[in-house]
Structure 1
Amino acid sequence: MRQSSTLFLLSGTALVTALFFASAPNAATPEAKPAQEEVTFEAENVGSFAGAFLAARTADVDHDYETAITLYRKALEFDPANIEIRERLMISLLLNGQFEDGLAEAEALKEDEAVERITTIVRGLDAIRDGRFDEAKTLVAYKGPNDLDRLTQTLIGAWADVGAGKGKQAMDTIAKMSGPDWFKVFTDYHLGAMAIEMGEPGTARDHLTAAITSQEAVATAPDTFMRAVMALARLEAAEGNKQKALDAISVGDGMISNYAPLKALRESIENGETPEQQISDAADGAAAVLFSVGAALNRQGSEDMVSLYLQLSHSIDQDSADTLILLGGIAEKLEQPERAIGYYEQVPEDSPMRRISELQLGLALAGTDKVEDAREHLKELIASDPSDLRSYLAYGSVLSDAKDYEAMAANYDKAVEVIGPVAGPGDWTIYFQRGIAYERLKKWEQAEPNFLKALELNAEQPQVLNYLGYSWVDMNRNLEDGLDMIRRAVELRPDDGYVVDSLGWAYYRMGRFEDAVTELERAVQLRAGDATINDHLGDAYWRVGRKLEAVYQWNRALISEGEDVNREQINEKIKEGLPPLDPTATTADKSPAEPAAPAPAPAQPDKKS
């Protein structure tokens, strides 16, 4: 299936899910309080503990924290001593950004071993925030077997020592901490930040340099890597080493392109300024620990854990733009665009990430069905800085969702003009999206060169390999080259159901039906509930004589997601089956169902492949 994924390690999701309850809620809202009057009215009409509990759990699963909190409190009116309900209430409060209320529950639950990992961190953060550093160190002391918890709580405890004036002790604690290899980027960054606080630039330089020259740092924790780059650049600028500061920035730019804060930092240093460090005290350090770990966990399926860490970080560092943007991104993943907008609007006006937040806000507006508002917002951003390619990507995404491919193509034509005659490796996305626009307009002569240009800039990009290979096979052109491209895309993205579907459908188009069944069965497992994949598998089953299973898959396609499948055609297949193959044909008898429109990359910076 031609599907372009949206650009927007450590295993730890059990902290919220397995540790507390089976279906924990996800990202929180910063300020928006949806339908509070209606929520209160509904809670007042709940007449039993069971009713309140079940309704609260439903709201929990739907990530509707306002409702969940109200209903858990209602349940506690019926059963004030119910510890499980109070645990769930505490988690919902924290995930909803209500730290003070969550803290009150954490104090009430401080003897509850089931939620000890959360209550100790919450209470420790409160102590650091209030300057009770020795108490904080005692609260977060960890002796358990979990590496992630040990890293988190040891680092927070070390920052408490820094706050208490025991910087050397803090650094010794971290230096002596043993653990897996992925600890190092976190420990080096925080050791460097602590050394800066203690006025030891040489020591700080050594640790920060180690953090940014580690081959695993970007893969393990890209956000912490970038914070280390910027901390080192600021340190060198403060020491009067302008060129070394710019060299550090170049290291970061070489690994993660178009990162707005790095661009702003470069401009500041080039102008002879000495920007302040992001961490200025123990509270900032503790917030940075939680950000570092939460950001590293930010993978599909880990939203619960990530939201919790980021909300705790946000509670003591409310101006951190990268934390707000990550929280907004999680809200968008959970299809909560209004919540996302609330986060993006909180990014400080003077932050170098403000433009990123404005771009993401435009995308979120489209998610609330305010498509015209989104278009106008993003067009204004393009006009304010026509050289910013991220603006074209964000606007192109909205146009793609609206299926306005003429405007989408014109948008990317302008972006290519901005790039000029010499494109860089990071520009592949612009050409890829322009190719998609022209392909959807059925202008293959204009689409194909853009896909080829994207591959010239990034030869191992699985999205492009998949899209171009699928298109060639679909059109019965360059069959072997197209198949090789899709195979390579599958090697690069073995768990991507859309890419595996492409391989299965390529085999189908080439008449290799048994191979098609093998790959399409795997695609269905990877991407359950996609109508196009179910439809493809049904066709493959029919061709290998598994006709009952074919009808079953076609029926599944009718009730699955995928607005672009031809439901009339599927109903006809259910009724009549597929026509016999033409024995003289070199490929299968029919074209695939029109694939779903791609979702081009939003404005977030992407790691260079």
Structure 2
Amino acid sequence: MRQTNRHLLLSSVALAACLVFGSVAGAATPDAKPAEEKAATFGARDVKSFAGAFLAARTADVDHDYPTAIALYRKALDFEPANLEIRERLMISLLLNGDFADGLKEAEALKSDTAVERVTKIVRGLDALRSGKYDSARKILAYEGPNDLDRLTHLLLSGWADVGAGKGKKAIATINGLKGPAWFKVFTDYHLGAMAIVAGDTSTARQYLNRAVTNNDAVATAPDTFMRAVMALARLEASAGNKQKALDAISVGDGMISNYAPLKALRQSIEKGEKPAQQVTTAAEGAAGVLFSIGGALNRQGAEDMVALYLQISHALDEKSADTLIMLGGIAEKLEQPQRAIAFYQQVPEDSPMRRISELQLGITLSDTGKIDEAKSHLKELIQSDPADIRSYIAYGSVLSEAKDYKEMAANYDKAVEVIGSVPRQSDWSVFFQRGIAYERLKEWPKAEPNFRKALELNPEQAQVLNYLGYSLVDMNLNLDEGLKMIQAAVDARPDDGYIVDSLGWAYYRLGRFDDAVTELEKAIQLRAGDATINDHLGDAYWRVGRKLEAVYQWNRTLVSEGEDVNREHVKQKIENGLPALDPNATNTVRNQTETPAQAAPAPATPDKKS
């Protein structure tokens, strides 16, 4: 199955770690009603038993509907005020909802509860730190456990408490004495540099930030922290009047992670002779940066709650941190909460160099809520405001793809290619890939194929391109051997991607290798259960190997599965009549007996919405 991933294409550093990029103490989640109003809306006030309140709260919790969960947990506590488990869940829900003040009250009440000590220590310690109670913060944050990550986190937070107390040298010496795995350095070097800046020791700051920027493991381990180090070093050198050294630092960052908008903005500022202020100027902002660093490094599928918890606490300490807001928005998108994501993106300060990233992602997310015209208008304005920014064309193109406006999509990417010029960079592969998809959708293969091949020239191992081009070649009965090799290479690169495995199975089917098709399509349906196209493909393959009862079962599954790219009327005909007999004399029997017209050209899927 051909596929695209629209959110992948806009990656900034923060979004790449999550994109693919809270509120102040006491405030609710951006798009949330107050918990009491939510309670009325969802009938929490009408709950008549502890069991009813608890079960409803857990359902809301699992759905990441924190305001409703909060109201229902509180209702459950009305029935059983001493229930420790309910109070623990209430505290976590409050913090995930951005209600730091109320979460802090619960953390104080639960400070002796070892089950949630990991959270209560950080919440209480950081509240003391931001209140200027640095000695209290250090005592609360003391950690002697065996977990390396917790040990690192607590020591860095304690270090920032020392910096706040005017004990910068002590903080640096203590952190320098930390023993642990090699990846500690990715985080300690940056924070040591930032601590030295706040403490006024520019020489020491330069030493550690240079180490952070030249750490070969930093980009892979913690790209967000790496870019913070690059920008801190550039700002430090610019402030010291070392313009060229500042630009050199930016070049290092650009060489590792290209097209990062804040870095571009910082370069322009320094080239003008400006001396941009540091992102971290206080102990509270530094401590917030610790949780941002750890959260960014942990940000992967399945870890959304833990990452969001760290980021919401970080946001309470540094409410203007743009990269934190963008990462929170990205997590909300992964959890399919577009309105919540939009609210986070809108909070990014207008004067932030990351504002454009938030605006681009906002445009895509507006499209996800069904506001296609608003999304188009928003993104077209962004293109007009900076026609040289390739990411704007990618964002606009993704909305056009979702709207199936392939003619405008092709024209958009034609303009993007003009902007790129005659010497595209490796990172431009996605522009050519998307332009190829647009022309393939328009059935203009002579224009589509060169774009796919250009994308592969720029990024030869890109699995999406290998899959899409290989599938197209096999599906159109062109260069079958080459197409099959491409799909196999895509499967080798991403063996757990059900869409790509489906492509391999369907390629075997097109080639008349039905037993091989069944093998691969059975793998695909295990990887991506409930996908209509894969169910349909597997049904066809079962029919050809004589497993007709199972074929009919799969076709029936097709009718109730997710997916827009299947001709359901044709599937009903197959359930009724089966598949036509193959011509034994045909060179490619399946291709000469087209069974499912819709299957010959399924529209690009968006697997990120189904993950």
> Quick check: TM above 0.5?
yes
Cα separation, 2, equivalents of 1:228 and 1:515: 51
Aligned pair in 2 of structure 1 residues 50, 215: CA closer, same or farther (>3 Å)?
Answer: same
Residue 379 of structure 1 aligns to a residue whose secondary structure is helix
More contact order relative to length (CA 8 Å, sep ≥ 6): 1
Deviation at 1:145, TM superposition (A): 2.2
Residue 145 of structure 1: aligned partner: 146
Matches within 5 A, 1:200-349: 200-349=201-350
Larger CA deviation: 430-439 vs 162-171: 162-171
Deviations 1:321-360 (A, max 9, x none): 1111111111111111111111111110101111111111
Matched residues in 2 for 1:276 and 1:376: separation? 33
Task: Report if aligned partners of 2:364, 2:399 keep a CA contact under 8 Å in 1.
Answer: yes
Q: Distance in 2 between matches of 1:522 and 1:264?
A: 46
Q: Say whether 1:595 aligns with 2:602.
A: yes
Query: What letter matches 1:130 in structure 2?
Result: S
Alignment partners' CA distance in 1, 2:99 and 2:80: 23
Match runs of 1:341-380 below 5 Å: 341-380=342-381
Q: Is the Cα–Cα contact under 8 Å of residues 342 and 362 in structure 2 kept in the other structure?
A: yes
Q: Does residue 33 of the first structure (1) align with residue 40 of the second (2)? A: no
Please identify, of 342-351 and 386-395, the stretch whose mean Cα deviation from structure 2 is larger: 386-395
Q: Which amino acid aligns with 1:300?
A: Q
CA distance in 1, matches of 2:317, 2:152: 19
Aligned residues of 2:35 and 2:71 also touching (Cα < 8 A): no
The residue number in structure 2 matching 1:413 is 414
Cα contact 1:566–1:593 (8 A) shared by 2: no
User: Over the residues paired in the alignment, what is the CA RMSD in angstroms?
Assistant: 2.0
Q: Which residue of 1 aligns with 2:71?
A: 70
- CA distance 1:588–1:537, shift in 2 (3 Å): farther
Task: Evaluate the alpha carbon distance shift between residue 34 and residue 112 of structure 1 in structure 2; reply closer, same or farther with a 3 A threshold.
Answer: closer
Q: Which moved more, 1:591-600 or 1:350-359?
A: 591-600
Q: Give the CA deviation at 1:540.
A: 2.2
**Helix, strand or coil at the partner of 1:4:** coil
Kindly provide the CA deviation profile for residues 203-230 of structure 1, in whole angstroms up to 9, marking residues without a partner as x: 3223222222222211111111111111
* Higher alpha-carbon deviation: 112-121 or 268-277: 268-277
Q: Which residue of 2 aligns with 1:2?
A: 2
**Aligned partners of 1:424 and 1:457 also within 8 Å:** yes
State whether structure 2 residue 520 is matched by structure 1 residue 513. Answer: no
User: How many angstroms does 1:66 deviate by?
Assistant: 1.3
Q: Is contact 2:60–2:66 with CA below 8 Å preserved after alignment?
A: yes
1:92, 1:62 → 2: CA distance? 12
Cα distance change of structure 1 residues 390 and 553 upon mapping to structure 2, 3 Å threshold: same
Q: Pick which of 420-429 and 441-450 moved more.
A: 420-429
Identity across matched positions, percent: 74
Summarize deviations over 1:351-377 as a string: whole Å, max 9, x none.
111111111111111122111111111
Q: Which amino acid aligns with 2:291?
A: L
**Deviation digits for residues 364-417 of structure 1, max 9, x if unmatched?**
111221111111111111122222111111111111111111111111112122
- Residue 192 of structure 1: aligned partner: 193
Q: 1:171 to 1:563 in 2, by over 3 A?
A: same
For residues 411 and 606 of structure 2, what CA distance do their matches in structure 1 show?
Answer: 17
Distance 1:514 1:401 in 2: 35
Structure 1 residues 550-589: aligned runs within 5 Å = 550-587=551-588, 589=590
Q: Distance in 2 between matches of 1:211 and 1:258?
A: 20
- Aligned partners of 2:608, 2:517: CA distance in 1, in Å? 30
Displacement after TM superposition at 1:541 (Å): 2.5
> C-alpha separation between the residues in 2 aligned to 1:228 and 1:335?
32
Rounded Cα–Cα distance in structure 2 between residues aligned with 1:168 and 1:500: 56
Displacement, 1:440? 0.7
Partner of 1:23: none
Change in Cα spacing, 1:501 to 1:284, as seen in structure 2 (3 Å) is: same
CA contact (8 A) 2:38 2:71 kept: no
Q: CA deviation at 1:31?
A: 4.8
1:421–1:544 CA distance, 2 compared to 1 (3 A): same
- Scaled by the length of structure 2, what TM-score is found? 0.92
What is the number of equivalent residue pairs in this alignment? 583
Counterparts of 1:430 and 1:386 in 2: how far apart (Å)? 15
Does the 8 A contact of 1:413 with 1:434 survive in 2? yes
Q: Whole-Å Cα distance in 1 between the matches of residues 589 and 232 of structure 2?
A: 58
- The amino acid across from 2:39 in the alignment is V
How many Å apart are 1:593 and its aligned residue? Answer: 5.6
What is the DSSP-based 3-state SS (H/G/I as helix, E as strand, rest coil) of the residue aligned with 1:351?
coil
Partner amino acid, structure 2, of 1:597? P
Amino acid at match of 1:178: K
> How far 1:69 sits from its partner (Å)?
0.8
Q: Cα distance, 1:278 vs. partner?
A: 1.2
| Bigger mean CA deviation after superposition, 115-124 or 415-424 | 415-424
Which stretch shows the higher mean deviation, 266-275 or 513-522? 513-522
Q: Distance in 1 between matches of 2:215 and 2:556?
A: 51
Q: Deviations over 1:257-278 (max 9, x none)?
A: 1111101110111111121111
Distance 1:167 1:38, change over 3 A: closer
What is the rounded CA distance, in whole Å, between the counterparts of 2:589 and 2:34 in structure 1? Answer: 52
TM-score by length of 1: 0.92
Deviation at 1:519, TM superposition (A): 2.1
The answer for unaligned runs of 5 or more in structure 2 is 11-27
Q: Answer whether contact 1:159 1:286 (CA < 8 A) is retained.
A: yes
Compute the displacement of 1:146 (Å).
Answer: 2.0
Where structure 1 has 5 or more consecutive residues not aligned to the other structure, the ranges are: 9-27, 603-609
Match of 1:88 in 2: 89
Distance 1:303 1:164, change over 3 A: same
- Return the alpha-carbon distance in structure 1 between the equivalents of residues 109 and 410 of structure 2: 58
* Superposed displacement of residue 255, structure 1: 1.4
Query: Is 1:484 equivalent to 2:517 in the alignment?
Result: no
2:21 maps to which residue?
Answer: none
Give, in whole Å, the separation in 2 of the partners of 1:137 and 1:458.
49
- Corresponding residue for residue 51 of structure 2: 50
| 1:175-186 correspondence runs (5 A) | 175-186=176-187
* Residue 449 (structure 1) aligns with: 450
Query: Following TM superposition, where does structure 1 have runs of at least 4 consecutive aligned residues deviating by more than 4 angstroms?
Result: 598-602
After TM superposition, give the deviation of residue 113 of structure 1 in Å: 0.9
Q: Distance in 2 between matches of 1:34 and 1:98?
A: 10
- Alpha carbons 2:441, 2:603 under 8 Å: kept: no
